[in-house]
A and B are shown apart, each in its own frame.
Chain A
Amino acid sequence: MGLTEPMQIYLPIAEVSVNAFLLLGLGGLVGVLSGMFGVGGGFLMTPLLFFIGIPPAVAVATEANQIVASSFSGVLAHLRRKSVDLRMGTVLLIGGLIGAALGVVVFNYLKSLGQVDLLVRLCYVVFLGVVGGLMFLESLRAIRKSKAGVAAPKRKQRGWVDALPFKMRFRTSGLYISVIPPVTIGICVGILAAIMGVGGGFIMVPAMIYILHMPTKVVVGTSLFQIIFVTGFTTLLHATTNFTVDIVLAVLLLIGGVIGAQIGTRIGARMKAEQLRILLALMVLAVCAKLGLDLLLMPSELYEIGAAGGH
C-alpha cells in the first residue's frame, strides 16, 4: 500500500525522492551538450543537481562517478585512434591523484566548518566566469577573422615552460618539456575534480593547448584518459570518507547521458566550430551568472539546516 507512483525514485543515499524521468532528461540534456561540445558536462550537471534539490555533497560525489562512465566510452574511441599520449597522461595523472586527495581533505575540512556550499559555488563562479569569458572572446575574434578572410598567425612560443628542469620526452605529443607544468596542471585539476565534482576537462584542455603546447589531436584523448583515473579515485575517496556516492542517481543520469551524447555528437557534426564554441561560452556564462546572483542577492531564507558534523 502507499502513494507509490511509478515515476518517483527514492535515492538511497541522497534520501530524497525524485522523478526518474527528470533525472533521465537531465542526463540526456547534458549528454547532448557534452556530445555537441566534446566536454564532460560535469560543470553543468552538478549545478543542475543542486537546483533540483540533491544535497551538494551527494551531487559532487555522484557526478564524479558518472564522469567515469561518460569518459570511459570516449577514451576507448581515442585509444583505437591512437590519439592518447599515455606518457603525458600518466604524468598528469600523478599530479591529479595528489590534487584529488588534497581536494577531498579541503572539502571535508570546509564541510565541518559549514562552508562547503560556498566553496563549491565560488569555484564554479570563478572558473566558469573565466573560462566562459575567454572562450567567448576567442570565438568572437575567430568569427571576425574568418569574415575578414585573414588566416590566424601561426606562432611558436618559447616561454618560461622551456626554462624549467626535469625534462622528459613525450613522443606521441612530439614534446620535450619539463614535468613540472603537467604535474602542476594535474594537481590543480585534481583539486577541482574533488571540490566541484567535475572532470576538469574544461580547464585541462585549454591548459594543454596554451601552456604545454600539445598538438590538438591528442589533447582530448589524453585529458579523458587522465580524467577517468582522477574521477575514479575521487569517487572512491568520497565513497569511503563521506558516504555520499548515490549509485541509483548515477545510473539514471548515465542512461540519459549516454543516449544524449550520441545525439549531441550528430548535432555537433553539422555545426561550425566557432558557432559551437560561442554557444558553449554563452551557456557556461549563463550558469556562472545564475550561481553568482545566488551569492550576491539576499537569500529568501537566511538560515539553513545541516547535519551535525561527524554523525
Chain B
Amino acid sequence: MRVILTLLLCSWASVVAAEEVVIGLDKSSVSITTNFAGDNIFIFGAVKRDAPSPEAPLDVIITVAGPSKPVVVRKKDRRFGIWVNTEAVTVDAAPTFYAVATSAPLNDILLKTEDLRHKVSIPRAIRLVGESDQATDVERFSDAVIRIREDQGAYKLNEGGVDFRDETLFRTTVDLPANLTEGAYETRVFLVREGAVVTSFRSAIEVRKVGLERWLFSMSRQQPLMYGIMSLAIAIFAGWGAAALFRLFRLG
C-alpha cells in the first residue's frame, strides 16, 4: 500500500487544555478514473499533551464533507390520480457527501449547543444552509434530503467507528461511494470532553476526475458543440463500421 504520510500539526492550541491533535491521511487526493468504483480514506492521528490529561474521558469525532451544492427538493402528491411533483424547496447548499465517525455514541459525547456551533451531526450539516420560505414546513424537506442521501450511502453516521486507544491514538476509515462528486472534501477532527469541543483540526482531500474522465467532462462543458459533434462522429463511425464488418463476414 502506498501511503503518503501527510502529518499535519494543529496550529491552534487550546487555551483550556494543553491538548493538540496531530492527524495523518493516507492520501491527499482521490482520482476518479474510468474504472472508479469507490475508494476509502484512512484517517489516523494522535493527541499531543503538555500536561497529564484531565480526569474526564476524551472522545474523538471525525467528519468528512463533500462539496456543497444547491439542490431542489420536490414532493410528490396525487393529482388527477397520478403522482406528480408539487411543492418544491430550494436548499442553498447541502453537502453531496457527509460522513461522521465517532468513538462513542454522538449524543453522549457532544452537547446540542456544541453541535450547533460546530455543525457536526448530519442534520446540523444540512441545516447550516439558508432555508427557503416557499413551503409550509421546510423541516420535512431537509429530513427528506437526509433520508434519501442516507439510503444512497452518501450520508452516514458511524458511531463507534473511530478506534481510540489510551486517549492518545485514533484511527478510522471512511468509505467513499462510487458516485462521487468532484471537489474538495473537508476532513475535520474534533476532540471532545464532557460534551464540549476541546480542540479541532481541519484538512482537505481533493477528489478529481483524471485522464479520459477529466478530458471528456471538461470538453462537454467548455466546448459543448465540439463535444456533440465528436459524439455524433463516433456514433456514425461505429454504425458504419459495424455494417461494413458484418457485410465482410457475410461475404467471407
List chain A positions with a Cβ less than 8 A from chain B. 1-6, 8-10, 12-13, 15-17, 65-66, 68-74, 76-77, 114-115, 117-118, 232, 235-236, 238-240, 243, 245, 247-248, 250-251, 254-255, 258, 262, 295-299, 301-309, 311
Asked whether B72 lies within 8 Å of A17 as measured between CB atoms, the reply is no
Asked whether A69 lies within 8 Å of B228 as measured between CB atoms, the reply is no
Complex alpha-carbon distance, A240 and B232, angstroms: 13
Asked whether any CB of chain A lies closer than 8 Å to the CB of B8, the reply is no
Q: Interface stretch among B73-81, B108-116, B157-165, B185-193?
A: B73-81
Complex alpha-carbon distance, A302 and B85, angstroms: 9
Asked whether any CB of chain A lies closer than 8 Å to the CB of B14, the reply is no
A306 touches which of B74, B178, B213 (Cβ 8 Å): B74
Chain A residues whose C-beta falls within 8 Å of the C-beta of B235 in the assembled complex: 65-66, 68-69, 72, 235, 250, 254
Q: How close is A284's CB to chain B, nearest CB, in angstroms?
A: 20
Chain B residues whose C-beta falls within 8 Å of the C-beta of A9 in the assembled complex: 34-35
Asked whether any CB of chain A lies closer than 8 Å to the CB of B198, the reply is no
Complex alpha-carbon distance, A255 and B217, angstroms: 21
B149 touches which of A71, A250, A305, A311 (Cβ 8 Å): A305
Q: Interface stretch among B17-25, B43-51, B54-62, B218-226?
A: B218-226
Given contacts A69-B236, A308-B90, contact A114 B74 (CB under 8 A): yes
Chain B interface size, under 10 / 10 to 19 / 20 to 34 / 35 or more: 35 or more
Q: How close is A149's CB to chain B, nearest CB, in angstroms?
A: 37
Asked whether any CB of chain A lies closer than 8 Å to the CB of B12, the reply is no
Known: A69-B236, A235-B232, A309-B72. 16 other contacts (CB 8 A): A2-B31, A2-B40, A3-B40, A4-B37, A10-B34, A13-B220, A66-B235, A115-B84, A118-B82, A118-B84, A235-B228, A235-B235, A247-B231, A254-B235, A295-B82, A308-B72
Asked whether any CB of chain A lies closer than 8 Å to the CB of B148, the reply is yes
Asked whether A307 lies within 8 Å of B71 as measured between CB atoms, the reply is yes
Complex alpha-carbon distance, A236 and B229, angstroms: 7
A-B contact count (CB 8 A): 196
Asked whether any CB of chain A lies closer than 8 Å to the CB of B88, the reply is yes
Complex alpha-carbon distance, A213 and B146, angstroms: 57
Q: How close is B29's CB to chain A, nearest CB, in angstroms?
A: 11
Asked whether B240 lies within 8 Å of A72 as measured between CB atoms, the reply is yes
Chain A residues whose C-beta falls within 8 Å of the C-beta of B76 in the assembled complex: 299, 302-304
Chain A residues whose C-beta falls within 8 Å of the C-beta of B236 in the assembled complex: 68-69, 72
Complex alpha-carbon distance, A185 and B106, angstroms: 63
A243 touches which of B36, B77, B221 (Cβ 8 Å): B221
Asked whether any CB of chain A lies closer than 8 Å to the CB of B38, the reply is yes
Complex alpha-carbon distance, A15 and B230, angstroms: 20
Given contacts A4-B35, A308-B70, A309-B72, contact A240 B228 (CB under 8 A): yes
Complex alpha-carbon distance, A9 and B220, angstroms: 18
Q: Which of B1, B149, B236, B239 counts the most chain A CB atoms within 10 A?
A: B239
Chain A residues whose C-beta falls within 8 Å of the C-beta of B227 in the assembled complex: 239, 245, 247
